[in-house]
Amino acid sequence: MNSYSQDIDEELVSKLKKLAKRDKVLYTSVQKKMVQITENPHIGKLLHGKLR
């Protein structure tokens, strides 16, 4: 894994840990969405288009 991807992964994990401390319901919904994206990459492409 290149350092850029590793930096992104570390930043994502850091933000998720902070989110878990603040809002458990939102944290669990984010986890569920991440699982859905890993199971169906097409969902991630749809979300990417909405985030632009």
* 1-52 pLDDT per residue, tens: 568 778 888 888 888 888 888 998 988 888 888 888 888 877 666 666 665 5
pTM of the entire predicted model: 0.57
Question: What's the full length of the chain, in residues?
Answer: 52
Q: Which domain holds residue 37?
A: 3-51
Token pair belonging to 18: 């902070």
| Helices (H), ranges, the chain | 3-22, 24-39, 41-51
For the chain, what is the domain count? 1
Residue 2's identity, in one-letter code, is N
Q: Is 37 exposed, middle or buried (0-12, 13-18, 19+ CB in 10 A)?
A: middle
